[in-house]
Amino acid sequence: MRKVFVIGIGVGNPDYVTVQAINALNEVDVFFVMDKGREKEDLVRLRKEICERYIKDKSYRTIETIDPPRDRTASSYEPAVRAWHEQRAGIYERLIGQELGENECGAFLVWGDPSLYDGTLRIIDRIIERGTVAFEYQVIPGISAIQALAAKHKIALNRIGRSIHITTGRKLAEGLPNNIDDVIVMLDADCAFKAIDNTGIDIYWGAYIGTEDEILVAGSLRERMHDIARMRAQAKGRKGWIMDTYLLRRSKQQ
Ligand SMILES: C[S@@+](CC[C@H](N)C(=O)[O-])C[C@H]1O[C@@H](n2cnc3c(N)ncnc32)[C@H](O)[C@@H]1O
């Protein structure tokens, strides 16, 4: 039976790769690498570095495929993402069915953790639903941007007995949720933090966390938001891409 690993590789520092992930890497015959285009070249390179560093005495093949771009002009976000996943499911299905021998093991290396803002597991479910190729699969957790952010700022994410909320820049633009004092924001290309009511809010921000380009800023949102937006734009201009995550925290007095 074909086997597929979905392996979380952490968010940038090869030291974030777990022992379980290393053991899985050493079983893999074929790595499927989706090339997402210009700004993601660095990320593809890191995946290759991880394989070279951790795989000992095992030969493997790497199959690179172009990841189809998502339609960013579509008026409705969720149907556009679903259509994109469907397109990718077709590609992954072909990779597993045609590039993997009957008893071989393949792997998708997922940035951070596969359970968090990543389509790979939904795509695998879709391929299983289609039922055209038989395989078993296993998911290996990785260190997500959220865990890396918290470690770098040396903070616990929740306050005692309280909830935390994980969201995107797109959702934050609708406003901070009520009754939640700790909100983690990912996938924010537009600095949505600049437009919310910033009274009594602190921000813990990190870009390129775990890499040599890492930038960390913490402080009052009102005082730091323009600095963060400026640093973000400069870093993106310099490198061609940026990934940043932040925690917004209502101070205890509020
Ligand atoms: C498509 S999501 C993938 C999340 C990933 N699966 C995880 O577990 O962190 C991409 C978002 O993750 C966050 N991210 C990923 N890597 C990061 C890093 N090294 N530093 C800061 N944020 C990062 C950013 O918010 C980025 O927009």
Q: pLDDT of 75-101, one tens digit each?
A: 777 888 888 888 888 999 999 999 999
| Class level of CATH domain 146-250 | alpha beta
CATH topology of domain 2-143: Cobalt-precorrin-4 Transmethylase; domain 1 (3.40.1010)
pLDDT(216) > 80: yes
pLDDT for the residue numbered 73: 75
Pocket of ligand 1 (CB under 6 A): 11-12, 111-113, 116-118, 144-145, 186-187, 206-210, 243-245
The alpha carbon of 241 and the centre of ligand 1 are apart by a number of angstroms equal to 12
Quote the pTM value.
0.92
Separation of alpha carbons 252 and 254, rounded Å? 6
User: Per-domain residue ranges for the chain?
Assistant: 2-143, 146-250
From residue 141, alpha-carbon distances to 8, 19, 51, 123, 132 in Å are: 5, 11, 17, 17, 27
Q: What is the mean pLDDT of the segment spanning 101-126?
A: 94
Ligand 1 atom at minimal distance to the Cα of residue 211: 19
Angle at 231 between CA 196 and CA 145, to 5 degrees: 75
What is the Å distance from ligand 1's center to 144 Cα? Answer: 7
Of 30-44, 108-122, 168-182, 214-228, which gets the smallest average pLDDT? 30-44
Residue that is written with structure tokens 């951070």 in the block: 112
Phi then psi dihedrals of residue 252, to 5 deg: -60, -30
What is the DSSP pairing of strand 30-35 with strand 61-66?
Answer: parallel
Closest CA to 68 of 114, 37, 110: 37
Ligand 1 mean position to 187 CA, how many Å? 7
Pull the structure tokens for residue 32: 């499927």
